[in-house]
Structure 1
Amino acid sequence: MSIRRFLTLAAGGLTLLAAAPAHATPGLPEARADNAWSASLAPTGDDDVNVTWSGSALRLTDPATAPGGQRAPVAQGLLLTAPHVLATPAGRVTAQVTAQVAGSPAGVEVEVRGLAGERWTEWQTAGEVLPEPVGTVQVRVLLTGAATVTSVRLTASAAPGTPSLAAVGSVYRIYATREGLVGGTTANGHVITNRDHFVALPSRRGLAPKNTGDYTVRVCTTSGARCEFAPVWDVGPWNTTDDYWNPSATRQSWKDLPQGRPEAQAAYQNGYNGGKDQFGRTVANPAGIDLADGVFWDGLQLTTNSWVDVAYLWTAGGPRGVVGSGPLNIRAGAASTFASKGYAATYAQVPIECWVTGQSIAGPYGTTTRWDRVGAGQYISHAYIASTSGGAAPAC
């Protein structure tokens, strides 16, 4: 027998109502910019994971499937809606969901991000205040277990906000494990290939849509000898709500831990939470990031799980470029004859500190002598940069 739940979040952002006929026709785009709209619940098939629209409700395609290589021991699915242009800028988006939730674990979560200039904010639970006013928003719906959704009604409104971007991104020393799982499907729907180039973080707040680098990390060996810029395409290890790179006040879970300390690390090293993760499993290592095989073996040239230095690049401002063809060698100087210091993965968004003139390179985006400095002693040819944003980079 189905158990119907009625739930209102404390933030006032999401109201879950009993199942009822949908009020909107899923699959139809919005006709005009509006601050109140119904989300389309029809999956496009490309960026959606393990969800299907039956004509009357959104539900899991396979109730036995957990994205991310079964690392979260619950069946889940994710729907990513198209970006929606607002009539007026807003700092908060609330959601009213008509759904039926049966059994446990089961539930519906609605998450929102906004386009601030040329940069997406981090994903937030509906109802939370965005870090700054935005003119375009995107919504995703997470289903867990036996949950069905018939409508999602969204309302954007003004709210106080403080810009969250700093001059440099947060950098923390984190224990890294190798993800592997070749042939599996990540939380954003990417099918993992041999020697792939992406990372996983234990919170969906930094999960980039498939084939984008909206959320990119720079991960380096502790010596700094090797680095890779890679998009965040999966959720894990251990937890799914641990955005440990954020300040404690805005951290999604475990707000009593210091910024930069993953819950798994605290559980493993200090017995935090009884030594368990959010699912009650005994934490067997302190990992706060998973590296796809190409990042692990080729980018950083690791041979075993290791501590690494991680920068969460979306927490920083400044000019950046999108790597259109990779993995691209990071060179120690402005020529292909300089030693490789690692890679920049396809779709990664790299910070462009400044640029220098160097060897002429013919690449997929033209022939140029411009080399972009993406870190101290780290250069990539601009001939492999598909687009730039965040302003013009200065000459070095």
Structure 2
Amino acid sequence: MRVVDVPWHRVLPALVVGVLALPVSPPTASAATTWVADLSRVDGDDSDVVVERGTVRLAGRGRADVGVPGAGRTGMMVLPPRGFAAPVNRIAAELVGATPHGAELAVDVRGRRRDGRWTEWVEARPGHPAVLDEATNTVQARAVLSAPAGGAGPELRRLSLTADATSTTPREGEEETSSEAGGDKPGPPASFRVYATREGLVGGKTANGHIIAERDHFAALPSRRGLAPRDTGDYTVSVCADSGRCEWAPVWDVGPWNTKDDHWNADREMWQDLPRGKPQAQAAYEDGHNGGRDQFGRTVRNPAGIDLADGMFWDGLRLMANEWVTVTYVWTGSGPRGTVNGDDVITVHSRPQVIPETENGMATPRAQVPIECETTGEHADGSNKWLRIGHERFVPRGRVDVTGDVPPC
């Protein structure tokens, strides 16, 4: 991505000087395609941005980052997916805009995988086009506008994107799952032990524009790479307490502490000196990493690597205080999965029976859950069919939308 800044006190257009330099390897699957994004209107997927005289700005004072106190304000414009006749995996971005001191204009892109899931969002940075880990015929982009606490926000006047294909290899430390490589065995998702805190902040707005309700159910991770668009479960986590209770919930906010710490990835966006699975806040708190401070220079007061909404914290996991949990980043694995439907959280059971003694967790509407197999049990939600989503974890088939066949247990 290339952004040209202008002094904030001058009313002059910022001009894009050139085109991003691309790696020397030539496209292997498609010729480059360039298009200009439509920035003329705000729709339901956008959060805390407005369009005024053809310029995208933060709305009003913008959103305070509820999951990252003191980190400033953020707004997002999520663009419609764009299809291509031939697969692409490399996307460059050119921005015309203005970024006052401490502000940021960024572009994240992602691609739809062969199995219908999305890759993680990857930022297209100056001189470094975003390279997706899988070639795709469908790409989506979002513009991110950030302002420092108490500071002026950026302006976005024009966004053009260029997509083509280049040969790539899996990220360092990661291998293709067998299903993606042509096998039939699902690949396991990343799973790590992480310190969890309660987000609270009822009435506030999350990074994707969701208004936080009482006893809400969602999670926040300290990176935009795993931030799902509003009302979707494209990026879902399974969080399990030491009591044995688990909840599957979508990632709808960014935090705590950092905003570019995708600690679940081997190829991290920041803090590459830390081991995979260890949040930077934990390293700062326990080991004095970065002088004991986060990416914003604040002293880290706890080792949190995930925030949980109140309902997930109190009702789903029945936690009484902040504590260590096991987090599974569902989208990083492969294999069959379904999407929880309806408007109410559903109860997970240790057996396919609807009795209190079997309750051992919850699953949130729009969350994506892994599907291991189908079995017969007690009649619930219009059917006696149940889905196993983990060891001794069953949910009624009627509450999960499943694409394709499900093997019997």
TM-score normalised to the size of structure 1?
A: 0.88
Q: Per the alignment, do residues 2 and 191 of structure 1 end up closer, same or farther by CA in structure 2, a change over 3 Å counting? A: same
Question: In the TM superposition, what are the counterparts of 1:225-264 in structure 2 within 5 Å?
Answer: 225-247=244-266, 250-264=267-281
Deviation at 1:150, TM superposition (A): 1.2
- Residues 281-317 of structure 1: CA deviation (Å, up to 9, x unaligned): 0000000000000110000000000000000000000
Code of the aligned partner of 2:53: G
Question: In the TM superposition, what are the counterparts of 1:272-311 in structure 2 within 5 Å?
Answer: 272-311=289-328
Q: Does 1:368 align with 2:389?
A: no
Alpha-carbon distance in structure 1 between the residues aligned to 2:71 and 2:336: 39
Q: Give the aligned partner of residue 336 of structure 1.
A: 354
Q: Which one of 359, 369, 374 corresponds to residue 350 of structure 1?
A: 369
- Residues 2-42 of structure 1: CA deviation (Å, up to 9, x unaligned): 276979899859xxxxxxxxxxxxxxxxxxxx932111213
Q: Per the alignment, do residues 219 and 226 of structure 1 end up closer, same or farther by CA in structure 2, a change over 3 Å counting? A: same
Deviation at 1:128, TM superposition (A): 2.3
Q: Which one of 109, 112, 117 corresponds to residue 109 of structure 2?
A: 112
Alpha-carbon distance in structure 2 between the residues aligned to 1:215 and 1:289: 14
TM-score normalised to the size of structure 2?
A: 0.85
Q: Does 1:123 align with 2:125?
A: no
Q: Per the alignment, do residues 259 and 53 of structure 1 end up closer, same or farther by CA in structure 2, a change over 3 Å counting? A: same
Structure 2 residue runs of 5 or longer lacking an equivalent are 1-6, 24-31, 148-152, 178-186
Alpha-carbon distance in structure 1 between the residues aligned to 2:104 and 2:19: 13
Code of the aligned partner of 1:254: W
Code of the aligned partner of 1:112: V
Q: Which one of 402, 405, 408 corresponds to residue 388 of structure 1?
A: 402
Question: In the TM superposition, what are the counterparts of 1:82-161 in structure 2 within 5 Å?
Answer: 82-102=80-100, 104-117=101-114, 118-126=116-124, 127-145=129-147, 146-161=153-168
Q: Which one of 31, 43, 49 corresponds to residue 51 of structure 1?
A: 49
Code of the aligned partner of 2:204: G
Alpha-carbon distance in structure 1 between the residues aligned to 2:20 and 2:298: 28
Q: Per the alignment, do residues 347 and 44 of structure 1 end up closer, same or farther by CA in structure 2, a change over 3 Å counting? A: same
Q: Per the alignment, do residues 231 and 287 of structure 1 end up closer, same or farther by CA in structure 2, a change over 3 Å counting? A: same
Alpha-carbon distance in structure 2 between the residues aligned to 1:374 and 1:72: 38
Q: Per the alignment, do residues 394 and 237 of structure 1 end up closer, same or farther by CA in structure 2, a change over 3 Å counting? A: same
For the 8 Å contact 1:67–1:77, the answer to whether it is kept is no
Question: In the TM superposition, what are the counterparts of 1:16-55 in structure 2 within 5 Å?
Answer: 35-55=33-53
Q: Does 1:173 align with 2:193?
A: yes
For the 8 Å contact 1:42–1:52, the answer to whether it is kept is no
Q: Does 1:80 align with 2:78?
A: yes
Deviation at 1:77, TM superposition (A): 1.2
Q: Does 1:218 align with 2:238?
A: yes
- Bigger strand share: 1
Residue aligned with 1:144, SS: strand
For the 8 Å contact 2:37–2:160, the answer to whether it is kept is yes
Structure 1 residue runs of 5 or longer lacking an equivalent are 14-33
Alpha-carbon distance in structure 2 between the residues aligned to 1:69 and 1:284: 14
